[in-house]
A and B are shown apart, each in its own frame.
Chain A
Amino acid sequence: MLPMRIHRAPVAALLLLGHIGLARAESCAPPLHPRIAEVFYDAAGDDTGHEFVELFNSYGVTLGLTGARLEAGDGSAPGRWTLRWTGGIGDSIAPGARFVIGGALLPAPPQALVTLDLQNGPDAVRMVWPDGAVEVVGYGALEFPEYACGSPAPDVASGQSLARVPDDADGGANAFDFRAAPPSPGHANQRQRDLAWLAGSVRLAAPVVRAGTAALIQGTLENRGAESLAAGSCAWSVREAGDTLTLAGGILASSLAAAETASVAAVIHGLPEGRHRLLLAASAPGDEAAENDVDSLWVRVGLGPLQLTEIQFHPAGGEGEWVEVVNASSTPLELATFGFADRGEHPGRIAAARLEPESLAVLAQDRAALLARFPGLDSTRVLGVSPWPTLNNSDDDHHIADVASLIEAEGTFSDQVPYSAAGVAAGVPLERDFTGHWGPATVTSGTPLEPPRPRASVPGRFQIEPHRLLAGAEARLSWDLPWPRARVSCALYDLGGRPRGVVLPATEVSGRGEQRWLPSELSAGLYLLVLEARAPNGEGSLAVTRPLRVEAR
């Protein structure tokens, strides 16, 4: 078991070197040794070549590294330390300098080129010095105390490094000394003056910007420097990439102390329809870190090229959920570059396919089941989505059941449809009509891969088309009831009033809809179809009779 805190430095030596950190009882960093200043163990994407550990000499003399060992600890069990690097003869760090041990893909070549292969937390790294001193930096929820000094540091998000802030912090526990920060190999973790955009804070207040409306952008400025920034000295601006015209901007009216943040909002009018890459810049006098002064944001104004046309969120025929999409652009679309998401906004990947302009495709939860339910569909345009974002069937307090979204590769929304399930009968999808209005589909089971059926007026609440039907042909029954949904049934009688069959068993349907009907084993003659409908709350009912002539072929 290795000691967690080392206090072996002779006081005389410390006095000799004039080190200000005189024998702090709770120090995690052994005196007269470089300290671990930064650990970058989880790059965005593949870690290989990006990982590094930075050592910092905070003393006034050059410190040697010969024989020093960098070890990685696997926090899943005790005693799992493995060597990653050993300091060679001549390796040293000048006063106030840094020594980077890391991969080949760092912005600047490290002093020691090593593939560290560090693990994501809860894990640890440690420096074991030739004199037996040890410094441990642990991160994540560690179970075994050997992997941290005091409380472990937080497990940082992918793309962030674990940085000692300020660079000479020595608070007596990893949790006090380290925090998440943008990787800065070879540079100070905390500048004296550094105004930056808080990582991940720049976003649109509403992810979809309708054509002709303003885009509201929100962001948070952060003082990452050690010094306070005076009131009126911090400015920000927004412009479009490739353009110098400032679209919005402002100055912080109040001062910003170290580690303080300030929210800003920009209202941008007049962005033309289409996709825009906006750059948000922050500036402060004497800012020492230009690399974090600019953040960017993709904004889609208006609808994108791939749009939703039909949403089946509560299938009744075992076909699984599905949505129909259309390529509304003039060029083919590679659907694999889009994602489909619900309100959770974690998009499922659409299977690879090329969709021609003005063509429809169906994104299916269960492709095989959908094709079984609708065997006439063009299977090349029925695509799976993995994972499928299950769509909700019942409304929340804001009368929204869910939000169906098509998301582009840059994270912009090509289309987004919040929908309500209220009044939509089970099994009936929502469909966008030619005017862009969403409502229950005119065909009860939906029209996958078919354009929306025009909502013809239904005189007298119930119609049969055609009303003279060749035996064996299909008829279309359409209704327009005075309720948003109803329980309907349709029965067939002959002219003598005798029952001749059930056309539509009692079913919950939308107030406006239609049903295809193929009369079978029905001889030629004049028949009467009776649609009986009842409001779900029992507040009303009606029955409409229409004659139908079945003609012999």
Chain B
Amino acid sequence: MPLLRRVLVVAMLFAVAARAQEFSEAAPAGHLSAAALLERGLPARAEALSGAAIATRWHGLAEIETRALAAAIGVRALRIAVGASQTGETDLGWSQVALGVGGASDRGGAALRGSARRRLLAAGDDGIGGEVGAGAWVAASPDLVVWASAPQLWTRGDPPPLERWLEIGARFERPEAQLWLSRAASPGAPHGLRAEHLGGLLLPAGPAAVWIEGRDHPARGTLGLAVAAGRLRVSAAVEGHPVLGETVRMELAWGERPWW
């Protein structure tokens, strides 16, 4: 599909925003799963009943740890996911419920995702906020998947803790390795910075896989490791930052086939 590829390439050049949050998995960028449906509106390919438990420690800060549960079901082309998360125990924290609805096949998928947050405001009131976004992916060829996600197309009420705009990416998948690239806009970035870029490589090794990702502005790297047994998967990823502490993600997922 040369036309589609050209469209995606142009879209990547003009993309303006995005990076994950509560349902961000210990998985390569652009991965399709129950959590990805909630987080980015990217539905899974396969019909399955799946779920995931995710824990994230942001930049080494214990006060803003996130714990999330996600569950999804796929019936024919319909994909539905629900999830809940809690970030932080102090007055900086918030809780969230999320819903994702969409459709998918082997050739592509699209979905709407939305979430509602609640937190305690400084004034003592509850802060309620919500957001709705969308995502889509296309198998441009048997080896190439491209995706786009705009998770905060519409927001209302208490603003989200992190602005996320448009992210767009492509993945080249072969049995011996996977490569991916993405571009995400950077809201409010200084010095004329408009986007951050990400590139990654995954190497399967039987029931396990290891992946690395690199990101710019500032230069950061992620090392991930996943081990699957049947439809059970355990994965972990550590993202280093030149100034901030490390962000660590742990995930236990079931019901999905391994990505590799």
Contacts and interface: CB of A to CB of B under 8 A. Distances in A.
Interface stretch (B60-68, B73-81, B204-212, B248-256): B60-68
Interface of A (DSSP majority class) = strand
B190 A495 contact: no
A530 interface: yes
Interface string A489-518: 001011111111110000000000000000
B238 to A, nearest CB: 13
Contacts of A278: none
A543 interface: yes
B7 interface: no
B161 A495 contact: yes
A526 B162 contact: yes
A532 interface: yes
Interface stretch (B99-107, B169-177, B228-236, B239-247): B239-247
Interface residues of B, number: 35
Contacts of A524: 158-159
Interface string B194-232: 001000000000000000000001101000000000000
B21 interface: yes
Interface in A499-553: 499-502, 521-526, 528, 530, 532, 543, 545, 547, 549, 551-552
Contacts of B218: 497, 499
A104 interface: no
Contacts of B186: 498
Contact of B190 (A496, A497, A501, A551): A501
A237 to B, nearest CB: 72
A545 B60 contact: yes
A552 B193 CA distance: 24
Interface in A423-474: 466-470
B47 interface: no
Contact of B92 (A467, A498, A521): A467
A493 B162 contact: no
Contacts, number: 86
Contact of A500 (B60, B190, B241): B190
B91 A494 contact: no
Nearest to B58: A495
Nearest to A543: B243
A468 B122 contact: yes
Contacts of A493: 59, 243-244
A523 B152 CA distance: 15
Chain A: number of interface residues, binned into ranges: 20 to 34
B153 interface: no
Nearest to B245: A545
B121 interface: yes
A525 to B, nearest CB: 5
A525 B189 contact: no
B163 A523 contact: yes
B162 A494 contact: yes
Interface string B136-167: 00000000000000000000001111110000
Interface string B48-61: 00000000001111
B165 to A, nearest CB: 11
A545 B244 contact: yes
Contacts of B192: none
B160 to A, nearest CB: 7
Interface in B93-129: 121-122, 127
B179 to A, nearest CB: 23
A495 B186 CA distance: 12
Given A498-B217, A499-B193, A525-B163, 4 more contacts: A495-B21, A497-B239, A498-B186, A525-B160
11 contacts: A495-B162, A499-B218, A521-B188, A524-B159, A525-B162, A526-B92, A532-B243, A547-B64, A549-B122, A549-B161, A551-B122
